[in-house]
Amino acid sequence: MFEFVIHGRQEGSRARTGTLKTPHGEINTPVFMPVGTKATVKTMTPQNLTDVGAEIILANTYHLMLRPGEKLIKKMGGIHKWSGWSHPILTDSGGFQIFSLKDMTKVTDEGAEFKCYLDGSKHFITPEKAIEIQTDIGADIIMAFDECAPGKSTKSYAKEAMERTHKWALRCKTTHDKLKSQRENAQALFPIIQGVTFNDLRIESAKFISSLDLPGTAIGGLSVGESKETMHRILETVIPHTNEDKPRYLMGVGTPEDLLEAVDRGVDMFDCVLPTRLGRHGGFWNKEGRHTITNKKFEHDEAPLAEGCECYGCSNFSRSYIKHLITEGEILGMHLMTTHNLHFLIQLMQDIRKNINSNTFNRFKKEFLKTYKV
């Protein structure tokens, strides 16, 4: 289980294609994972997700633990059975939300105290607890509990948070091993590299995390407001120090251009709320860039969101009609925009894989970025 096989590599790039085996099916990498925060990718049925080509989705432990609670999900047979999505699922650890949603009240080496976003009640989460919760939820891939320090942290705080993240990763691994017998299906634990924007910390973290020899390597603390150049520099710094034979997961990315740049630097897995959130608020992508459907110019536009796109939205509706739906706050509009954006990113990943396998990724990337205006 969780065997990662590399199939193709692009010359002059770290880009590679592979497959990752999970208890609920194989994932083709590089892969984009739609975010289903509360065990549902907003506006999408499982069938819709399959239709846009999704192979794996993500759910957020922070939200699910607070409501309905991991015990309910466990009692109902685990997240796959309960949510009707029978393909692979990844859960994050809750760390990112706790450290970023300003509901964190105190962090110690033991764990983090935070206020529940629903009722303000206090909760204390430890690395052990984060793994227990994710074991109950029952995803295929679970994440170590980490401290995601703010992008503007001092070096001394960045180091403190990184070291805590490393100790927590060890405790997560111990708990994960201990709970092995309680799992219905195998679960892979991915630990997370931190270190803010400091090259030496990032290298130290990459080496430590890789030494744990777990089935995947995550890179956290990016896409939190730093410049594109900083993200590229950190990827270039970190990736040579990670296991070449394990999938690399860049958390919280991204945009079409970020996906291309990160794949080029050796990343295999991505997640981001952007395609779904953007879609619900009227934003969409096509080969020319990002657009806003409520723009007056689309009022009488008979064209689909993207010429040549084969998603359900583009196959059946004009920009004029979708503009009307989004203007009126109609759910169908949010659904069609979400469908298109997910299809667009997942199709991009398919094109990326095809081009890596035919050793034409460098040219594909260059041509894509020539017409796509950021």
Show the site string, 243-282: x = touches a second copy by CB under 8 A, - = not.
Answer: ----------------------------------------
From the CB of 338, what's the least distance to a second copy, in Å?
9
| Residues numbered 319-358 forming contacts with a second copy, rule: CB under 8 A | 320-321, 324-325, 327-328, 330-336
| Residues numbered 281-310 forming contacts with a second copy, rule: CB under 8 A | 299-300, 302
Stretch in the footprint of a second copy (CB under 8 A) among 37-45, 197-205, 256-264, 350-358: 37-45
Burial of 110-142, coded b for 16+ CB within 10 Å and e otherwise, reads: ebbbbbeeeeeeebebbbbbbbbbbbbbbbbbb
Position 171 contacts a second copy (CB under 8 A): no
Burial of 209-244, coded b for 16+ CB within 10 Å and e otherwise, reads: bbebebbbbbbbbbbbebeeeebebbbebbbebbbe
From the CB of 161, what's the least distance to a second copy, in Å?
31
Q: Among the options 51, 92, 264, 268, which is catalytic?
A: 92
Beta-strand pair 89-91/141-143:
parallel
From the CB of 21, what's the least distance to a second copy, in Å?
25
- Alpha-carbon torsion 254, 258, 262, 268, what sign? positive
From the CB of 342, what's the least distance to a second copy, in Å?
14
The C-alpha atoms of residue 33 and residue 273 are separated, in whole angstroms, by: 9
Residue 45 or 371: which CB sits closer to a second copy? 45
Q: Where are the beta strands (DSSP E) in the chain?
A: 4-9, 16-22, 25-29, 31-34, 57-59, 89-91, 104-107, 112-115, 122-125, 141-143, 188-190, 192-193, 217-219, 248-250, 269-272, 283-286, 289-292
Show the site string, 174-203: x = touches a second copy by CB under 8 A, - = not.
Answer: ------------------------------
Stretch in the footprint of a second copy (CB under 8 A) among 17-25, 150-158, 187-195, 318-326: 318-326
Give the Å distances, CA to CA, from 95 to 67, 137, 201, 220, 244: 16, 16, 20, 10, 26
From the CB of 373, what's the least distance to a second copy, in Å?
28
Position 43 contacts a second copy (CB under 8 A): yes
Position 156 contacts a second copy (CB under 8 A): no
The C-alpha atoms of residue 91 and residue 60 are separated, in whole angstroms, by: 6
Give the number of residues written for the chain.
374
| Residues numbered 58-117 forming contacts with a second copy, rule: CB under 8 A | 67-68, 72, 75-76, 82-84
Residue 190 or 317: which CB sits closer to a second copy? 317
Check if 271 is active-site. Answer: yes
In the sheet that 112-115 helps form, which strands lie side by side, from edge to edge? 104-107, 112-115, 122-125
Check if 92 is active-site. Answer: yes
Size of the site for a second copy (CB under 8 A): 37
Position 220 contacts a second copy (CB under 8 A): no
From the CB of 133, what's the least distance to a second copy, in Å?
16
Q: Among the options 109, 271, 301, 351, which is catalytic?
A: 271
Would you tell me the crossing angle of helices 228-238 and 199-211 to the nearest 10 degrees?
Answer: 40
Residue 80 or 248: which CB sits closer to a second copy? 80
Give the Å distances, CA to CA, from 126 to 105, 326, 327, 346: 14, 42, 44, 35
Q: Which residues bind a second copy (CB under 8 A)?
A: 38-40, 42-47, 67-68, 72, 75-76, 82-84, 299-300, 302, 312, 316-318, 320-321, 324-325, 327-328, 330-336
Which residues are part of the catalytic machinery?
A: 92, 271
